[in-house]
Structure formats: C-alpha cells, structure tokens
Amino acid sequence: MEKIRRIGESARWADVLVYQGIARWVEVANDTSVGARAQLSQVFIQLDKTLQLVGSTRSQLLEVTIFLSDLTFVPILNELWDQWIDSNHPPIRACVQCGLQGNIMAEFVVHAAVGDG
C-alpha cells in the first residue's frame, strides 16, 4: 500500500496530502485583514507555491472548489481566475457561498495531479 505523504502536519490537520499521484490541500489568504481582491490575489500566489512544492503545475489541476463568504465576489474571482488559470487545461471548478471563519472571504479546496499524474 502506498504511503500517504503529509506536508505541514499538525494534531488537527495537514496542510497538504499527497496520495496515489494526487495532491489535496486547502488554501486561504495569509492576510485576512484586507479586502476580497487582495485575499483572492494572495490565494493564487499561494496556490502557485503549493503546486511547486508538490511537483505539480496549473495544467495538472484536477478540481478546485471555491467557498466564498459573499457571491458578490464572483466577478473579482473570475477576473483573477481567468488571468491565472491555464485555459488550455482547466480543472473542474465549483463556487459556493458559505459562512467562513473570521475575516476569511475565500477558501479553496484543491486537487492536482503530481509528477506524471
């Protein structure tokens, strides 16, 4: 049985799990004192760093579920997403509104193939 690789492990959660060629993680902005555009911009930068960490790329994204505290942020999200995503290899994407902790305005749940996928 293949071992599960955990990155950034704590008693409550791991930052990233890699198992059977798929990395899974959650991303929120590091600085939640700023507005939606700044938080979303941070998340995209952090996504690139995590993709690099696990040996993946934007073209290997499989699924992104985006939780927003307010659906009025969708136009900002779409603008930044369209600039960031590999439009030749887009993942499946869902976007839902929900209550998020504190000042968090967006939380991304990401699955990406690693290596050769």
For residue 40, the SS3 value is: helix
Distance CA 108, CA 112 (A): 12
Mean pLDDT of 43-70: 98
Locate the domains of the chain by residue range. 5-113
Select the more confidently predicted residue: 9 or 61. Answer: 61
What was the pLDDT predicted at 37? 98
CA 15 remoteness from chain centre: 11
Q: For residue 83, what is the DSSP state?
A: H
What was the pLDDT predicted at 2? 84
Mean pLDDT of 30-59: 98
Mean pLDDT of the chain: 96
What was the pLDDT predicted at 9? 87
Distance CA 31, CA 2 (A): 36
The correct answer on CATH 3.30.1330.40 for the domain covering 5-113 is yes
Mean pLDDT of 19-27: 97
Return the structure tokens found at 23: 């990395």
Strand stretches in 1-117, DSSP E = 5-7, 16-19, 22-28, 61-68, 92-97, 106-113
Say yes or no to pLDDT of 117 above 60: no
